[in-house]
Amino acid sequence: MLKEQLDKIMRPKSIAVIGASTKPKTIGSEMMQRLRDYKFQGEIYPINPKADQIEGFKAYPSVLDVPSDIDFAVLIIPKQFVLETLAQCNEKGIKGICIISAGFKETGAEGVELELELAATLKKYGMRCVGPNCLGLINTSDDVRLDATFAEELPVKGDIAFVSQSGALGGGILNILRDLNVGFAQFVSVGNQADINAETMMEYWENDDDVKQILLYMESIANPDNFRKLASRITKKKPVIALKAGRSAAGASAASSHTGSLAGADKAADALLKQSGVIREFGLKGLFDTAKVFSNCPIPKGNRVAIITNSGGPGIMATDAICEYGLEMAQISDKTRETLLSFLPAAASVKNPIDMIASAGIEHYSRTLETVIADENVDMIMLIYLPFMGLKDIDVAKAVMDIKKAHPAKPVLGVFMTKSEFFTTISDMDVNMPFFMYAEEAADGLLRLDQQRQWMQRETGKIPCFDVDKKKAEKIIQQSVKEGRDQLTTLESIDVLEAYGIRACKYGLATTKEQAVSVANSIDYPVVMKMSSKTTSHKTDVGGVVVNIQSAEKLAEEYDALMIRLEKAGCIEGLEGVIIQEMVKGSREMVCGIATDPQYGPMMMFGLGGVFIEVLKDVIFRMAPLTDIDASEMIKSVKSYKLLEGARGTKPAQIEQIQETLLRLSQLVSDFKFIDELDINPLLISEKTGEGIAVDGRIKVRMAEAKEALGCSCGCGCGCCE
Amino acid sequence: MLKEQLDKIMRPKSIAVIGASTKPKTIGSEMMQRLRDYKFQGEIYPINPKADQIEGFKAYPSVLDVPSDIDFAVLIIPKQFVLETLAQCNEKGIKGICIISAGFKETGAEGVELELELAATLKKYGMRCVGPNCLGLINTSDDVRLDATFAEELPVKGDIAFVSQSGALGGGILNILRDLNVGFAQFVSVGNQADINAETMMEYWENDDDVKQILLYMESIANPDNFRKLASRITKKKPVIALKAGRSAAGASAASSHTGSLAGADKAADALLKQSGVIREFGLKGLFDTAKVFSNCPIPKGNRVAIITNSGGPGIMATDAICEYGLEMAQISDKTRETLLSFLPAAASVKNPIDMIASAGIEHYSRTLETVIADENVDMIMLIYLPFMGLKDIDVAKAVMDIKKAHPAKPVLGVFMTKSEFFTTISDMDVNMPFFMYAEEAADGLLRLDQQRQWMQRETGKIPCFDVDKKKAEKIIQQSVKEGRDQLTTLESIDVLEAYGIRACKYGLATTKEQAVSVANSIDYPVVMKMSSKTTSHKTDVGGVVVNIQSAEKLAEEYDALMIRLEKAGCIEGLEGVIIQEMVKGSREMVCGIATDPQYGPMMMFGLGGVFIEVLKDVIFRMAPLTDIDASEMIKSVKSYKLLEGARGTKPAQIEQIQETLLRLSQLVSDFKFIDELDINPLLISEKTGEGIAVDGRIKVRMAEAKEALGCSCGCGCGCCE
């Protein structure tokens, strides 16, 4: 269905250029030239009421005057004529549209209005549309040869598909790609994305054999949930590489919880890309270098790298980079070493890095590569060349590519520290490996290859569904909402967590001293006593928490003292009593919680809690809902995981139980989408059992949404009549 | 003195090429060609007993046959003839030498021997020497024009001085520099550094006006102390940029203390470079890009960056990079905005980044730059150009360079996302600003400029000398050494710290229960009781520490229990009693200490202590001795500094007192150079006073060195008779 629809745009049999022009240096003229020069394989119908012929093609006053069927229409006309022109297109049966014209939502309120109208019109007519406000699109397939852009250069054919959200940048990128001789299969400038966006194109390219990798330049993600679903699936088949700009924008508003304040504007985008298996780049150079690597390398079987060099220094630098990236330096097998020793000079080093020394000739390069590439201990190779008297760079490159040809399954990356002339020459050749000037660039490439390997080997994971008491949680939240509180009390928060099967420490509420003692007796000493209030949120600041109460007598004493303190601090109002809580002993305080990104939605956090949370920021974020694999990776990826494993004689934590806590929280926030913030801080690791126990909890909801979601029949809107 | 000596090598009036050859493709022939082709401004005397003329110069059988004086001799002869040839050179009065010949210490034991002999010979004759095993040297000054190398390309003149420790890499670098059109003033391949090393050259270049920046490729640092002294001084005058390779080598042996195990092989080099103000690069691309920036930019006055662009996307990416680097986005002044609004189109954005939009012509670039560069709120500018129809890259570049000419004091970096042709063209022109292809490269450059600015504005700092009881410390250590213990007891360690004026918690040693109580009474409760043993090092593991003892009765009880535990654990032997210690209350545990790098010497550590030390690694290293500024920077640069400032209602720590602790430790290790490891863990921050108090201490010495240093008159070597 989508394929059929988008084929009309990306593989049209005929194209109408509405607004084609005879006037030079206009978009309507430039695009006609591109279509002609790139030899579009279908029919071209320029539409212009004032011309008979444009760039050698017969022109028509309107699409309705064209005698044959038209698959695809490009609109290069003033915005005010767009809607009526679409009506004509509809009459003609055209289902594929690209609107180059600007003047829509990028221009302000009026434009937004017009774009909404446009989107509705497209939907009404059942049309799919690229743009408006875009550079156009390209398909380099031999049976299509469609260049419907007005970029300066004609495209180079290759296996990359590229979506750009910026038209201007897209043009620059096309220029550079041409210059770097990085070819692509298809290119789409999505512009304002009134209909087609990056996700549409990713889905279209998922099973397109012309497309071996997908590159994205994004300034926003249209539908994060859908993006995640698609990307997680497609990245298992081919690399998706994204440059997401705007990461420094102070987007997220100041939030009141820890989780919120740690979740900066870019955290959500970063989490989303990571858990979808998208390789993220932070600059165009990285994007292009990575594309070059994936264009010329298979995905390796492992992360063991061998370095072959004719100079020590670059070998050392490459080793540094590889070790820092966490890749492994391959253990060259004895057999390989023996073979190398048989033909390399005595001064050569046959340990990894393999230094053939400066006297290495072409024969040495060929035989060494041939020997090392066959070694089963080696997954990837970095081959370094420095110019020495008599040895020509291009000859070495050709020789190693000859060897590489016979070993298609192992990536070989060339580092040729030579003149730029070499790169110009090589970019016009048919190569089977990527060449870089510097070792660090090749090391980056090795890292990306390994990232993709790891992702492809990673289990997909499942979003589990636990048996929870949703009704109970709903009721508690409803009560808070009914009372106009967007922030649940500690007691309520812990009750909600328990309803979702999260291990919270045992507690009971008491409103009198006698009750307090009775609750404590049922829990067993030592206990903690905490004030529970509907108005005071940071309890410790007013002395509202007393720990390590060892006996009933001590508790009675402390109860009286607490009441005096609270009275003095003016905190008696709103006080709903004291919570008597099991005192969990443990020195390791973790934190987990939920923050909401205004654009991306709920995000899970996990990490080191306590006083360190904001100082050390040893926390990680992932978008909810989590899969079991997501949760497991979150726990293992924080530095403090070593504490959980039981550093320095502490009891190893129950990692699976903590993982389940995260997954249950994820289920909670999926069930109640209006939960804005949730903190479990600390999630204390019990020294006795290793469990992660929620010792404190805070839940905050978005009031209006909560009211709507919990909507009640009496019409007051607060859910009171449930 | 040094200048005079090295001028004989770098600015010789005459040069003898000993081993000059008529045989093509030999070093002796290639170098003669370079000397001739680069038009050396002095006399050239090829020395070869078998030739009359070489490359057009009259040849002589030996230097002794040359009728005139000779400043400088290059030796390109087999190693076995080097020493006798030096004797001839000495007879001739030649004081400047360069030995290209290999076969010295790089080849093993015999070569090491020969190189030692060589070094002694050079010293005897009062000669200065580059090499052996090197590529030679270059001086591009118009009145010298010396290319005494055998690299393929003739050099490009510029203002960079370059030392390379790798000959092969040096050759590659010369090729690339030529290709990038990055010019240099002088180049020296130091080879095995039998005499002249990177430090010698740095000192020579310190006041050389031809040299505006110094680049180093290093695999080791010959004399770390001297390097630090020189570099700290020179970096205040001109940028020194170093690529230090070999950072991943597992150099440091496993050490038994925390400080030791956290100090990896590269920590010392990194600390040394940082506190010397050297800009460190991790790859050649970075090295060259940075050199290009310093060649074409003044040091800015501040860190406020303005971005001028004709396309939104790259502007966003540049903003991202700048914010991530901690540079500031300049607040464009109202006046500047008004001026910009007067000529830019309505759709342009005059906030920073200033987006002139795609229609911007040359006039817009010129006027915008002219306006922004005059804004006092702007310290540096990144100017971005993307090709749009009709606007030529080279024209834009020329126009902005014209404006730049009138504003020499502000760095302007160009980002031209255009074809490589442009960079070829620009590299042949005389430019006054650096041009890059990508915004992230320019952002790197801005960061380096700001790093240099900060360093130049940074106070130099002083190494203070505190009034300490060195005698007492010496005596304690002597006693331990005398008893054959390289590890001091806790008690001894704390006594040494106290002798150096470091605030340790109050304590007393007791050997009986009664003594324990009496000591505790004098300190005041609560107290801590710790075993003190000459044989057990990790006390907690055997239950040897009891905290929070509230009264004399309790202490007596705990004393008995401890003795039973220790007996059971077999730790009674070696027990010298118990330490009764003041119990310092505080939740913030820091750590400080000393580790010794086998190559670089003693290194100071500071950071977050307790259980987090090895998990979170929030620690910083600096080489000892510390200046007051070093110590202050150490404290402020760890993440946990926020805890010290008094996060979450804790008492702000006494930062100056902690700084003094570090400085006193630094003095301690300078006084006793044989201290191998020293840990204060924890350095507890008192909740009462904010002081950092050494609660536990461990000192370990290098036995043999200690014995020698503490040498005694009785001849037993253990310092016993002091």
Q: Nearest Cβ partner of A316 from B245, B313, B386?
A: B245
- List the single range of A525-539, B17-31, B33-47, B321-335 with lowest mean pLDDT: A525-539
| Tens digit of each residue's pLDDT (9 = 90 or more) over A529-549 | 988 887 776 677 778 889 899
- Cβ within 8 Å of residue A50, ≥6 positions away: none
d(CA B280, CA B286) in angstroms, rounded, equals 9
How much is the average pLDDT of A404-432?
90
With beta carbons less than 8 A apart as the criterion, state whether A138 and A155 touch: yes
The contacts of residue A705 (CB under 8 Å, 6+ apart) are A673, A674
Q: How far is CA A633 from CA A459, A652, B514, in A?
A: 11, 17, 56
By CB atoms closer than 10 A (0-12, 13-18, 19+), residue B324 is middle
Which of these, A238, A234, A218, lies nearest to A226 by C-alpha position? Answer: A234
pLDDT at B461 over 50: yes
CB contact under 8 A, A168 and B439: no
Is residue A452 within 8 A of residue A276, CB to CB? The reply is no
Beta carbons of A477 and A668 less than 8 angstroms apart: no
Query: How many A×B Cβ pairs under 8 Å?
Result: 203
Identity of the amino acid at A473: A
Residues of B with CB below 8 A from A387's CB? 152, 171-172, 175
Quickly list H helices, B406-438: 420-427
Question: Is residue A366 pLDDT above 90, yes or no?
Answer: yes
3-state secondary structure of A16: strand
CA distance B218 to B193: 12
CB neighbour list of residue B124: distance below 8 Å, 6 or more residues apart: none
pLDDT at B236: 96
Give the pair of three-digit tokens for residue B401. 């360079």
Burial class for B325, CB neighbours closer than 10 Å (0-12, 13-18, 19+)? middle
Residues of chain B found within 8 Å of residue A317, distances taken between Cβ atoms: 243, 245, 283-284
Confidence at A521, pLDDT banded by 50, 70, 90 = very high
Each residue's pLDDT tens digit, B146-204 = 999 988 788 889 999 999 988 778 878 887 787 777 889 999 999 999 999 999 999 99
What is the DSSP code (8-state) at residue A177? H
Rounded to two decimals, the pTM is: 0.88
What's the confidence (pLDDT) of residue B247?
65
pLDDT on residue A20: 96
- DSSP string computed for B29-74: HHHHHHHHHTT-SSEEEEE-TT-SEETTEE-BSSGGG-SS--SEEE
β partners of residue A530? A545, A579
User: What integer pLDDT is reported at residue A333 of this predicted model?
Assistant: 96
- Measure the CA dihedral B193/B198/B202/B204, to 10°: 10
What DSSP character marks residue B163?
Answer: E
Separation between Cα atoms, residue B180 and residue B139, nearest integer Å: 19
pLDDT at A7 over 90: yes
Report how far residue A451's alpha carbon sits from residue A434's, in angstroms, rounded to the nearest whole number: 17
Q: Cis bond leading into B345, ω under 30°?
A: no
CA dist., res. A10 & res. A186, Å (int): 8
Q: Mean pLDDT across the stretch B571-575? A: 84
The ipTM (two decimal places) reads 0.85
Kindly determine whether residue B440 and residue A284, on different chains, have CB atoms separated by under 8 Å: yes
Asked whether the predicted pLDDT for residue A81 surpasses 80, the reply is: yes
* B245/A313 CB distance under 8 A: yes
Question: What residues in B contact A150, CB-CB < 8 Å?
Answer: 389
| Res A719 pLDDT > 60 | no
Q: How confident is the model over A7-17, as a mean pLDDT? A: 98
Give the chain A residue nearest B644 (alpha carbons).
A615
| Residue A491: per-residue pLDDT | 83
User: Do B285 and A438 make contact, defined as CB atoms within 8 angstroms?
Assistant: yes
Give B335 or A575, the one with higher predicted confidence.
B335
Nearest to B317 among A283, A311, A440 (CB): A283
- Give dist(CA B33, CA B252) in Å, integer: 46
Query: Is pLDDT at A404 greater than 50 in this prediction?
Result: yes
Domains with residue ranges and CATH for chain A = 2-211 (3.40.50.720), 298-457 (3.40.50.261), 470-582 (3.30.1490.20), 588-708 (3.30.470.20)
* CA neighbours closer than 13 Å in the CB half-sphere of residue B400: 30
> Cα-flanking dihedrals φ and ψ of residue B289, to 5°?
-60, -45
pLDDT of B402 > 70? The answer is yes
Which has more pLDDT, B387 or B503?
B503
Considering only alpha carbons, which residue of chain B is nearest residue A416?
B172
DSSP 8-state class, residue B649: G
Residue A610 DSSP symbol: G
Query: Is it true that the peptide bond before B652 is cis, omega within 30 degrees of 0?
Result: no
* Mean pLDDT of the B382-394 span: 88
Nearest alpha carbon to residue A670 among A640, A709, A634: A709
**Which pair of structure tokens corresponds to residue A279?**
């390789």
Report pLDDT for A254.
Answer: 28
Supply the pLDDT for residue A507. 86
pLDDT tens for A257-280 read: 334 444 456 888 899 999 999 999
Quote the pLDDT of residue B714.
46
Query: Is residue A712 very low, low, confident or very high in pLDDT (cuts 50, 70, 90)?
Result: low
pLDDT at B620: 95
Q: Considering only CB atoms, which chain B residues are within 8 Å of A614?
A: 642, 647
Q: Which amino acid is at A666?
A: S
Percentage of chain A lying above the pLDDT 70 cut: 95
Q: Note the pLDDT of residue B491.
A: 83
* pLDDT classification of A497: cutoffs 50, 70, 90: very high
Residue pair A318/A309 in contact (Cβ under 8 Å)? The answer is yes
pLDDT score recorded for residue B446:
98
Residue B248 pLDDT grade (very low, low, confident, very high; cuts 50, 70, 90): low
Beta pairing partners, A596: A602
pLDDT of A621 strictly over 70 = yes
What is the CB-side half-sphere exposure of residue A368 using CA atoms within 13 A?
32
- Which has the closest alpha carbon to A211: A191, A183, A169, A171? A183
Distance of CA A197 to the CA centre of its chain: 16
**Nearest-Cα residue of chain B relative to residue A245:** B317
Per-residue pLDDT reduced to its tens digit, A90-101: 999 999 999 999
- Radius of gyration from C-alpha coordinates of chain A: 32
pLDDT in tens, B332-373: 999 999 999 999 998 888 989 999 988 899 999 999 999 999
> What pLDDT, on the 0 to 100 scale, is given for residue B243?
92
Under 8 Å between Cβ of A266 and A247: yes
Q: For A233-256, what is the mean pLDDT?
A: 70
Residue A587's closest chain B neighbor by CA?
Answer: B611
The residue of chain B with its CA nearest to that of A347 is B107
pLDDT-derived band at B265 (thresholds 50, 70, 90) equals low
CA B429 to chain centre: 34
Q: Which residues contact A277 (CB under 8 A, 6 or more apart)?
A: A231, A232, A235, A236, A240, A455, A458
What is the distance of C-alpha B336 from the center of its chain? Answer: 41
pLDDT of residue A616: 83
Using the predicted structure, report yes or no on whether residue A721 has a pLDDT greater than 80: no
The pLDDT tens digits of the residues spanning B67-100 come to 999 999 999 999 999 999 999 999 999 999 999 9
Over the stretch A284-332, which tens digit does the pLDDT of each residue have? 899 999 999 999 999 999 999 999 999 888 888 899 889 889 999 999 9
The token duo for A339 is 């073979």
∠A282-A410-A338 over CA atoms, to 5°? 125
| pLDDT score, position A267 | 86
**pLDDT (tens digit per residue) in B126-145:** 999 999 999 999 999 999 99
Q: What is the pLDDT of residue B716?
A: 52
The residue among A570 and B631 whose pLDDT is bigger is: B631
User: From the CA of A707, how many Å to the nearest CA of chain B?
Assistant: 34
Q: Which of B467, B469, B479, B465 is nearest to B710 (CA)?
A: B479
Closest CA to A676 of A260, A264, A265, A272: A260
Question: Helix A167-180 and helix B312-324: axis angle, to 10°?
Answer: 80
Handedness of CA A293, A294, A297, A299 (dihedral sign): positive
How confident is residue A705, by pLDDT bands cut at 50, 70 and 90? very high
8-state DSSP, B610: G
Residue whose structure tokens are 């086998």: B598
Decide: A391 and A358 in contact? Cβ < 8 Å: no
Structural tokens at position B97: 């030498």
Mutation test of the interface with chain B: which of A262, A320, A643, A650, choosing the one with the most B Cβ atoms within 10 A?
A320
Kindly report, residue by residue over A681-691, the tens digit of the pLDDT.
899 999 889 99
Identity of the residue in B283, B639, B648 whose CB atom sits nearest the CB atom of A439: B283
Closest-CA residue of chain B to A643: B615
Mean pLDDT of A335-346: 95
Please report which confidence band the pLDDT of residue B254 belongs to, taking 50, 70 and 90 as the band edges: very low
Give the residue among A668, A670, A614, A618 at the shortest CA–CA distance from A644. A618
% of chain A surpassing 90 pLDDT: 69
